[in-house]
């Protein structure tokens, strides 16, 4: 549900990091904040936590201006993963323009991944969004650990559904930017189809991606 104000020439896009508890959603945002160049990126806002567990959400904003003068703000949100915070998840998921699902690769967490994805589907339906029309990327995090679900198995399972899946270790910092880039690509295509970013605003896909996902040297 792209928020677009033609008179003000403003567009706000909302991307949500979803997933089971302790799968690394906040860590993903922290790494993005560290890895990406500062230009056009706002500060990471971590709302109050309890024992380092997210109870509200985290927010990492991006800001860019298209050649036409269209101001685009992109806000990355996390949701609390704990089951009891479902009302907060629903509130954050309102009007999302894309979702990253952060799964925990550990074999012991398979059931939690499943339950959380099920919860995502249910809540999307509740807030009036269709999961099959929403930009969606699945990240299997914690690939640096042992006792994890083999990549082949994951690709077989998710490949059939046609969902882009990215392997990552947010703690080590790899796969995080790739995940964001994969979602940003889908979101660009999604927005371009409706608001002609390239034709009407002169914003090329590569420019869009470069502005969002340029990594700091060294």
Partner 1 sequence: MATEREADISFVVGEEKRLTDIVSAAEVVPLLKGMVRAGAAEVAVLDAEGRTLWQEKSAAAGVKLAGALPICLEGEPVGKLVIKGCAGREESLKGLARLLLDALNTIIANNLKRMLTTEIHTAVVNQSYAELLETNRRLAESEARYRELAGELEKKVEERTCELKQAHARLLQQEKMASVGQLAAGMAHEINNPLGFITSNLNTLQKYVQRLLEMLEFYRTMVGDDGATAAIAAAAHGKWQSLKLDLVCADINALIGQSQGGAERIGKIVADLKGFSHIDELAEGVADLNAELDRTISVLDHEIPGDAEIVRYYHPLPGLPCNPALLCQAFFNIIRNALQARNSGLRLVIGTLCDGAGIRVTFADNGPGIAPGVGDRIFEPFFTTREVGSGTGMGLAVAYDIVTRYGGAIEAESPAGGGALFTVTLPLQRMEHVKVP
Q: Helices 86-93 and 110-126 sit at what angle, rounded to 10 degrees?
A: 50
Q: What is the secondary structure of 51-91 as a DSSP string?
A: TTEESS-EEEEEEEE-TTS-EEEEEEEE---SGGGHHHHHH
Among 52-60, 111-119, 149-157, 210-218, which window interacts with partner 1 (CB under 8 A)? 52-60
CB of 38 to partner 1, least distance (A): 9
Of the two residues 167 and 203, which places its CB atom closer to partner 1 in the complex?
Answer: 203
Q: Which of 21, 35, 37, 91 binds partner 1 (CB under 8 A)?
A: 91
Size of the site for partner 1 (CB under 8 A): 31
Under rule CB under 8 A, residue 127 binds partner 1: yes
Under rule CB under 8 A, residue 77 binds partner 1: yes
Q: Which of 53, 145, 62 is nearest to 108 (CA)?
A: 145
Category of 122 on φ-ψ map: left (φ > 0), alpha (ψ -120 to 50) or beta: alpha
Cβ-based neighbour number of residue 218 at 10 Å: 3
Q: Which of 63, 117, 158, 174 binds partner 1 (CB under 8 A)?
A: 63
Under rule CB under 8 A, residue 34 binds partner 1: no
Under rule CB under 8 A, residue 110 binds partner 1: no
Category of 147 on φ-ψ map: left (φ > 0), alpha (ψ -120 to 50) or beta: left
CB of 217 to partner 1, least distance (A): 20
Q: Are strands 98-104 and 136-141 parallel, antiparallel or unpaired?
A: parallel
Q: Which of 2, 4, 12, 174 binds partner 1 (CB under 8 A)?
A: 12
Of the two residues 63 and 174, which places its CB atom closer to partner 1 in the complex?
Answer: 63
CB of 135 to partner 1, least distance (A): 19
| 96 neighbors 126 (Cβ within 8 angstroms) | no
Under rule CB under 8 A, residue 126 binds partner 1: yes
Under rule CB under 8 A, residue 88 binds partner 1: yes
CA distance 43 to 75: 11
Q: Helices 176-195 and 25-35 sit at what angle, rounded to 10 degrees?
A: 90
Of the two residues 33 and 195, which places its CB atom closer to partner 1 in the complex?
Answer: 33
Binding residues (CB under 8 A) for partner 1: these are 3, 10, 12, 14, 40-43, 45, 47-48, 56-57, 59, 61-63, 71, 73, 75, 77, 87-88, 90-92, 94-95, 126-128
């Amino acid at each position: 549900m792209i928020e677009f104000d033609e008179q003000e020439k403003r567009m706000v896009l909302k991307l949500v990091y979803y997933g089971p508890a302790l799968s690394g959603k906040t860590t993903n945002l922290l790494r993005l904040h560290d890895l990406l160049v500062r230009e056009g990126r706002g500060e990471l806002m971590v709302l109050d936590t309890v024992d380092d567990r997210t109870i509200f959400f985290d927010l990492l904003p991006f800001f860019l201006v298209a050649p036409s003068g269209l101001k685009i703000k992109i806000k990355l949100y996390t949701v609390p993963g704990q089951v009891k915070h479902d009302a907060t998840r629903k509130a954050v998921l309102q009007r999302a323009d894309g979702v990253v699902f952060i799964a925990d690769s550990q074999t012991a967490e398979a059931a939690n991944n499943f339950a959380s994805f099920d919860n995502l589907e249910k809540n999307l339906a509740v807030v009036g969004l269709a999961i099959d029309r929403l930009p969606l990327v699945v990240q299997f995090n914690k690939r640096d650990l042992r006792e994890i679900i083999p990549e082949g198995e994951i690709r077989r399972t998710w490949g059939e559904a046609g969902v882009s899946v990215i392997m990552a270790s947010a703690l080590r910092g790899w796969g995080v930017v790739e995940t964001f880039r994969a979602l940003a690509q889908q979101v660009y295509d999604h927005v371009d189809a409706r608001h002609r970013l390239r034709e009407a605003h002169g914003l090329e896909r590569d420019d869009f991606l470069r502005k969002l996902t340029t990594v700091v040297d060294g």
